[in-house]
Structure 1
Amino acid sequence: MSDNNLIKKVAILGAGVMGAQIAAQCINVGLPVILFDLPGKPEGDKPLSKQAKSGIALKAIENLKKLKPAPLGLAEDANLIQAANYDDDLDLLAGCDLIIEAIAERLDWKHALYEKVSPHIPEHAIFATNTSGLAIDELSKGFSGDLKKRFCGVHFFNPPRYMHLLELIPASETSPLVLDALETFMTSTMGKGVVRAKDTPNFIGNRVGVFSILAVIEEAKRFGLSFDAVDAVTGSKLGRAKSATFRTSDVVGLDTMAHVIKTMEDSLQGDSFSALFRIPEVVSQLIAKGALGQKSKAGFYRKDGKTVMVLNPVTGEYQAATATIEPLIERILKKPIGERLDLLRSTDDPQAQFLWAIYRDIFHYCAVHLGSIAESAREIDFAMRWGYGWDKGPFEDWQAAGWTQVANWIKDDIEQGKGLSKEPLPSWVFHGPVAEKQAINTPEGSWSATESCFIPRSTLPVYQKQVFRPTLLGDGSPDPKTAGSTIYENLDLRAWVDDREPKVLIASFRSKMNTFTTDVLNGIQKAIELAEAHYDGLVIWQPTSLKLGTPGGPFSAGANLESALPMVMKGGPAGVEPFVKLFQDTMMRVKYAEVPVICAVSGIALGGGCELVMQSARRVAAMESYIGLVEVGVGLLPAGGGLKEAAIRAARGVSESGSGNYLDFIKAAFENAAMAKVSTSAQEAMKMGYLQKGDIIVPNVYELLALAQHQVRAMRYAGYRPPIPKLIPVGGRSVASTVMGQVVNLRGGGFISEHDAHIAEKIIRIISGGDVDAGTLVPEEWLLKLERQAFVELMSHPKSMERIMGLLQNGKPVRN
């Protein structure tokens, strides 16, 4: 049952917010899925049609196309979800291998549904309940016999497409084989970071996360900080989600948060922190007014036009959000964690004292409850990173700051009555292996308070697909920036081999945002030379794809404009031409290498990053890949072969269709570049032509490198040969003139600026092959020369320079 391929079809019971979005994620990863809900009720005496009876599910499916952030890689793929209802379609469950129940959090409703569907569940199928906090053992009582062994809890975090965390919770009778099969499936197929939780209220993520929010609210009240002041200091500067505390609560929904708090209040009355487990009065008041957060356009925050307003809890009125982090506190938060905590404790400033207090509270709570909620410290750290967007888990921070030193500080505060509970820290904090090692996460494993030992990582075979597993501070995992054996390196690029796949060379960039510099370009050429001589091929992969917190860092943000400016200052606009020529030559070297060059893409691949992706032999892309030619935003155009490749793909489309109509195939590529369109997913990148048929979309970014390595080996084994250069039939001046007519209309309507139109004209003339007749055959070098000339001309344009300087100085493109 541990074979990932045993789950080939899924049923979701419940077409609410979570059920529908879990169904969407199934479609994103290529899994057939049936979405069930209650049958619709007829109006009057006329019976409903079979389709109309599934109207609730159909409406939820239609709504998926409109939701933001988008739950689907491609909105139109919503139509791949099969709608069903409980009256007519339960026989469809016979063809499903996994059934996920996701109805409202009511034990009696869930049990009634289990009784209804039980006779239709096939003998091999796994049944999981998606719940954020109900007791799994109590829910399991809705089944009998063998079904109890195939029943467990799963907890997707919202929104399911983007949140990496999935909690897996067994009931007392759940078969270990079922848990292994589901962990394998959720990890590899659904792309999740699986944390096994104990069957305790709210499990791990929400138990610790909601405690953290309640502690923040309590400490903010104690130190007299406004909601926006709290968010100013508890966001990215603290290594937490950018939306910080109260903005995050608004996003989650205050009613949802209140439900989770109520679960804690009802079920954790013996908890030594239970005095905190009350729905805060301000939250109750907001809910009573219908201010539920982002979904109702008001919560802790609301927008008045472009002004962000924040609630004043004293007056009950909204006022402009103006609070900022104190400069002293900002400097302290840049210090290493040990020095940071010491300074926060000793600084007589409300923001400093508040920050020390919330660090102390979370450390205290996690230590006291480690044994009851998690197998080891590892699960708590990963749950907070993947479910709440923290860069480091609480135990990682504590360990990095100095274990015993911090423990003594917490002990002193508890004794002085400053903590949120009088319960002392557990004895294992001060005595035994953790204190001796000054570490709770170690190379041998993470500390288990129940087993009184360090528990090693899971050895399920699925994790062999991860060259670099998610790391914890102190666990001894290899650093992907230095792992393996370095074969060649310069300042901005490292070529290396992973010891498990020594025949595949890997190139990783070291530049800021993995931008292209002269060293990166020369390094790629050197890596290809080495790969051709000694290896099966080359993978271009960035360690930043495995960034802390939720994974998915940049593949490449394109050319490094800061390094290009000195070339312009020294030699005028033409001074940048040698760099552009080097870029083009490098991309052609990528395309025509004697061995396959594969891009392992995750996160943004913009401008030159997109051009590298387009010209590689194959692409292996994480689902969350955002790819596009965006140069127009800085007053330039793609000049690394991106427009050349657009012309080639248009010519291929014309040839395959047999229509001879270049306009049909050029128009979309032109709009992509001229409007700086960026894909919102790997699926959309494929639709836009940046990914190609045969490329692989990977749900779990941690599997990206291994799958790219395997692709190199498979292509080499199949006798890979580079493409043979061909002459390209182009659309010519007639196609360019037709498209420019549309651009003129856009300019006349005020939809684009004059400079946008100027750049657009250059883009369409390059894709169309320049001032030639339709069908003229041109070599790639002809198109590259057109790109290069247009790029240099734009570098001399004052409006382009305005855009470049605006981006470099303010981080935002200038619209001029």
Structure 2
Amino acid sequence: MSVKRVIKKVAVLGSGVMGSRIACHFANIGVQVLLLDIVPKDAAADKKSRNKIVDDALAFALKSNPSPIYLKSFAKRITTGNFDDDMPKIAECDWVIEVVVERLDIKQQVFAKVEQFRKQGMLITSNTSGIPIHLMTEGRSDDFKKHFCGSHFFNPPRYLKLLEIIPTKDTLPEVTDFLMHFGEKFLGKTTVLAKDTPAFIGNRIGVFSIMSILHYVEKTGMTVEEVDKLTGPVIGHPKSATFRTTDVVGLDTMIHVANGLHENAPNDEANALFNIPAYVSGMQTNNWLGSKTNQGFYKKEKVNGKNEFYALDLKTLEYKPSQKVKFPVLETTKTVDNMSDRLKMLFAAKDKAGDFYRDVFFQLFAYASNRIPEISDELYKIDAAMNAGFGWEMGPFEKWDALGVESTVKAMEAAGNKPAQWVYDMLESGARSFYKVEDGHKRYYDIPSKTYKIIPGTEQFILLDNIRANKTIWKNSGTTITDIGDGIINLEFHTKMNTIGGEVIEGINKAITLAEKDYKGLVISNEGANFSAGANVGMIFMMAVEQEYDELSMVIRAFQNTMMRIRYSSIPVVIAPHQMALGGGCEMCLHADKVVAHAETYMGLVEFGVGLIPGGGGTKEFALRLSDELQDGDIEMNNFRERFLTIGQAKVSTSAYEAFELGYLKKGRDVVVVSEKRLLAEAKNQCLLLADEGYVQPIKRADIRVLGRQALGLGYVGANSMYSGNYISEHDVKISQKLAYVLCGGDLSQPTTVSEDYLLDLEREAFLQLCTERKTLERIQSIITGGKVLRN
């Protein structure tokens, strides 16, 4: 009979870069953490001296940017200690994670200590990135071996989604299953079951990809800047592309993994590719290891007070000013948003860029196909590992599908990159792709059975990409409404950066109309890179420049009315944001019946940065929320000051949890989901709960208490003192005064009760007045043309 496991307390052994950050991520999800490390040599007898290494490491992690912790107060869930004094405390833990130095002998010593104090059935895992998992359990008890496996997090653990689970032949299946489930649901990871092979899955494929590019560069003479231009967002890879990523990770780390693969995978057909190119060895000799040594493939220097960026000339190993590079094919694909369509164009290009893509990716496709069944029995695990661990939008087999498997195989053969036999067998069987979508589920080609199977664990997810084709009930150029079952519909945006313009406003109103007529409720969510970057400021700018103020007033009123319709519709509206939810995207959330936010939601009213105040009901809503929490005396002024500064300083939450602290999310109403893949399913469940509990249409508020002059004076004085201290500009003062005027309900002689409509009128009037200001238009233009906030 399997034991029901609950993880309440975790011990993390080793507080280095990975250990301290793994500890922080467990604290993020509410788990108590015991973080231990060695006692410093010649430490004094007091606890502070003996815990210096672990305390310093945790303090450094908590100060790092981006932060490893959702909210600073969560760090209180972490208790520190040392191996000599505190190892007995692991008996209180449910899971012990080893994250010490990458040396087998040291790991074995640590596990011998763990064996002394662990309780029966306790989980033990190692975060090693390269040491064979089975070697670590030599000399350990049977119970230890049954409950031991690898749990390889990727750095930084909070942000990179990959968690590889690597069992040994002794690991109990229920232990593996538990860790796979816990990692996905509670830690928010893409958990990938890996075999105990060199570098497992992610680093095996990822380092091969990097090494193939390093050798290609040596052969062709391409520059660092050219390669990074071709291997970044244009192909769905991170902005750091190839060389900047290597700088961030550390050249020494990449060399260590490559050397390990060269040594431990002698039968790998690409073994020679793991040899380090001469120019990389030269960089290592010079200690040019990347960010940790302040120079690698790139370096930054102050010249005349300004930052200047330099790139390494790989032929001469000399730095030269970083150059902007252009490729004709990249210009032609700028307007192509669909990644599959873009890849086809890039691979077909008859130039230097096309040659690069064909050479490098044909090698990658062949290599990935040859790793089955060595590192994985199923192809989807390789794609999942690359997407989650390296930030690729599409893994090797997904890219291959986009290009067409059969035609690509012929091109690969001609280039001398023949894939594995099972690919030919697949095509022979009549299957033409590695994936297909059926009945709302993505299925992968299963090699042994030559059939398509649902990717395990995804049955409970609702993924719009999988259901849109058959469940769309309405769409326009910027939105799609999809039936997600059980009487709930979903509205998604697909404008550039998911900005909110006329087509999105139309979509919201249409979705509410449909839901009120035929459905139980509405969810607003999408699977874009960001939920929404806010209102379409380009449209506002054009109207303001043309002085079309009547039309602009109508647009703002339509936005406000749409937000109010979200609030006061006859059906529940649940909004599920992720990543950026800024400006109008934030205002939308402020008006929902409930927000189900992904933990990595960066929410804020940022209009101040473009010379405006929130004009879609955001300022009104902050006044309303201030009214609901107001108390007598000084606390009134304190609460007002907090609300005023949140908008006036354009504060953006660094997590969904911080959004509660800033007042964007409501405690007791809104919820946070750590697993992004579960976000839409949870939003749907919450919407159903509201509907099935007898949802009652709210009534417009006319009981909002505003403070009038007593708070207005505080806002004006605060802005003027900031201006006197040269902290803000004269135009910032003007915006601050408009903001204070709306939040206070105008120049009222005493606290007064007003309606939402009254506040919306004040908000719209202030917004329009700011749109007539030249300096506001200059700020908007700076954002549109260069993406930079102008402080004029």
Q: If the length of structure 1 is used for normalisation, what is the TM-score?
A: 0.90
Change beyond 3 A, Cα 1:664–1:494: same
Contact kept, 8 Å, 1:65 with 1:76, in 2: the verdict is: no
Q: Alignment partner of 2:373: what SS?
A: helix
- The farther-off stretch of 246-255 and 335-344 is 335-344
Q: Which residue of 2 is the match for residue 515 of structure 1?
A: 499
Verify: 1:251 aligned to 2:248, yes or no.
Answer: yes
| Matches for 1:233-272 after TM superposition, within 5 Å | 233-272=230-269
Q: Which residue of 1 is the match for residue 311 of structure 2?
A: 310
Q: Which residue of 2 is the match for residue 549 of structure 1?
A: none
Distance in 2, matches of 1:142 and 1:454, equals: 43
Give the Å deviation of 1:194. 1.3
Aligned amino acid, residue 803 of structure 1: R
Give the Å deviation of 1:367. 2.0
Distance in 2, matches of 1:425 and 1:127, equals: 38
Give the Å deviation of 1:121. 2.0
Distance in 2, matches of 1:564 and 1:90, equals: 62
Contact kept, 8 Å, 2:488 with 2:521, in 1: the verdict is: yes
Verify: 1:495 aligned to 2:445, yes or no.
Answer: no
Verify: 1:80 aligned to 2:55, yes or no.
Answer: no
Q: Which residue of 1 is the match for residue 222 of structure 2?
A: 225
Give the Å deviation of 1:795. 1.4
Aligned amino acid, residue 646 of structure 2: N
Give the Å deviation of 1:350. 4.1
1:751-770: CA deviation from partner (whole Å, max 9, x where unpaired):
22221221111011211221
Q: Which residue of 2 is the match for residue 360 of structure 1?
A: 362
- The farther-off stretch of 390-399 and 623-632 is 390-399
Change beyond 3 A, Cα 1:481–1:442: closer
Out of 385, 410, 413, the position equivalent to 2:412 is 410
Contact kept, 8 Å, 2:429 with 2:450, in 1: the verdict is: no
Q: Which residue of 1 is the match for residue 403 of structure 2?
A: 401
Contact kept, 8 Å, 1:64 with 1:78, in 2: the verdict is: no
Q: Which residue of 1 is the match for residue 326 of structure 2?
A: 325
Distance in 1, matches of 2:428 and 2:86, equals: 55
Out of 159, 163, 167, the position equivalent to 1:162 is 159
Contact kept, 8 Å, 2:201 with 2:376, in 1: the verdict is: yes
Give the Å deviation of 1:794. 1.1
Contact kept, 8 Å, 2:653 with 2:662, in 1: the verdict is: yes
Q: Which residue of 1 is the match for residue 275 of structure 2?
A: 278
Change beyond 3 A, Cα 1:221–1:452: farther
Change beyond 3 A, Cα 1:483–1:41: farther
| Unaligned stretches of 5+ residues in structure 1 | 470-477, 545-552
Distance in 2, matches of 1:355 and 1:564, equals: 40
Change beyond 3 A, Cα 1:323–1:797: closer
Give the Å deviation of 1:206. 0.5
Contact kept, 8 Å, 2:426 with 2:450, in 1: the verdict is: no
Out of 438, 462, 471, the position equivalent to 1:467 is 462
Contact kept, 8 Å, 1:508 with 1:540, in 2: the verdict is: yes
Q: Alignment partner of 2:309: what SS?
A: strand
| Matches for 1:604-623 after TM superposition, within 5 Å | 604-623=580-599
Distance in 2, matches of 1:171 and 1:494, equals: 46
Distance in 1, matches of 2:437 and 2:480, equals: 26
Aligned amino acid, residue 676 of structure 1: A
Q: Which residue of 2 is the match for residue 127 of structure 1?
A: 124
- The farther-off stretch of 733-742 and 722-731 is 722-731
Distance in 2, matches of 1:561 and 1:69, equals: 28
Contact kept, 8 Å, 1:654 with 1:660, in 2: the verdict is: no
- The farther-off stretch of 576-585 and 208-217 is 576-585
Distance in 1, matches of 2:343 and 2:621, equals: 52
Contact kept, 8 Å, 2:329 with 2:353, in 1: the verdict is: no
Q: Which residue of 1 is the match for residue 739 of structure 2?
A: 763
Change beyond 3 A, Cα 1:738–1:574: same
Q: Alignment partner of 1:690: what SS?
A: coil
Give the Å deviation of 1:636. 1.5
Give the Å deviation of 1:133. 1.6
1:727-751: CA deviation from partner (whole Å, max 9, x where unpaired):
2222222322223222122223332
Distance in 2, matches of 1:453 and 1:96, equals: 44
Aligned amino acid, residue 468 of structure 1: L
Change beyond 3 A, Cα 1:290–1:663: farther
Q: Which residue of 2 is the match for residue 473 of structure 1?
A: none
Contact kept, 8 Å, 1:480 with 1:543, in 2: the verdict is: no
Q: Which residue of 2 is the match for residue 548 of structure 1?
A: none
1:46-77: CA deviation from partner (whole Å, max 9, x where unpaired):
5223x543332222221122112211112343
Distance in 2, matches of 1:86 and 1:670, equals: 48
Give the Å deviation of 1:211. 0.7
- Structure 1: 4+ residue segments shifted above 6 A: 1-5, 332-335
Out of 651, 654, 658, the position equivalent to 1:684 is 658
Q: Which residue of 2 is the match for residue 446 of structure 1?
A: 444
Give the Å deviation of 1:465. 3.8
Give the Å deviation of 1:677. 1.7
Aligned amino acid, residue 497 of structure 1: D
Give the Å deviation of 1:648. 2.2
Change beyond 3 A, Cα 1:360–1:570: same
Q: Alignment partner of 2:578: what SS?
A: strand
Give the Å deviation of 1:278. 2.1
Q: Which residue of 2 is the match for residue 550 of structure 1?
A: none
Change beyond 3 A, Cα 1:580–1:197: same
Give the Å deviation of 1:556. 1.9
Distance in 1, matches of 2:406 and 2:230, equals: 26
Distance in 2, matches of 1:142 and 1:650, equals: 63
Aligned residue pairs, count: 778
Q: Alignment partner of 1:559: what SS?
A: coil
Q: Alignment partner of 2:630: what SS?
A: helix
Change beyond 3 A, Cα 1:707–1:425: closer
Change beyond 3 A, Cα 1:337–1:454: farther
Out of 650, 659, 674, the position equivalent to 1:699 is 674
Give the Å deviation of 1:597. 1.7
- The farther-off stretch of 193-202 and 394-403 is 394-403
Distance in 1, matches of 2:355 and 2:300, equals: 30
Aligned amino acid, residue 410 of structure 1: M
Aligned amino acid, residue 406 of structure 2: T
Contact kept, 8 Å, 1:165 with 1:195, in 2: the verdict is: yes
Distance in 2, matches of 1:448 and 1:77, equals: 43
Contact kept, 8 Å, 2:704 with 2:756, in 1: the verdict is: yes
Distance in 2, matches of 1:386 and 1:123, equals: 33
Out of 635, 639, 642, the position equivalent to 1:668 is 642
What is the RMSD computed on CA atoms of the aligned residues?
Answer: 2.6
Q: Which residue of 2 is the match for residue 752 of structure 1?
A: 728
Give the Å deviation of 1:213. 0.7
Contact kept, 8 Å, 2:380 with 2:455, in 1: the verdict is: no
Q: Which residue of 2 is the match for residue 572 of structure 1?
A: 548
Verify: 1:801 aligned to 2:777, yes or no.
Answer: yes
Q: Which residue of 2 is the match for residue 645 of structure 1?
A: 621
Q: Which residue of 2 is the match for residue 390 of structure 1?
A: 392
1:537-592: CA deviation from partner (whole Å, max 9, x where unpaired):
32211232xxxxxxxx2222222233445655676223211121222222222223
Identity fraction in percent:
37
Q: Which residue of 2 is the match for residue 474 of structure 1?
A: none
Contact kept, 8 Å, 2:545 with 2:777, in 1: the verdict is: no
Q: Which residue of 1 is the match for residue 135 of structure 2?
A: 138
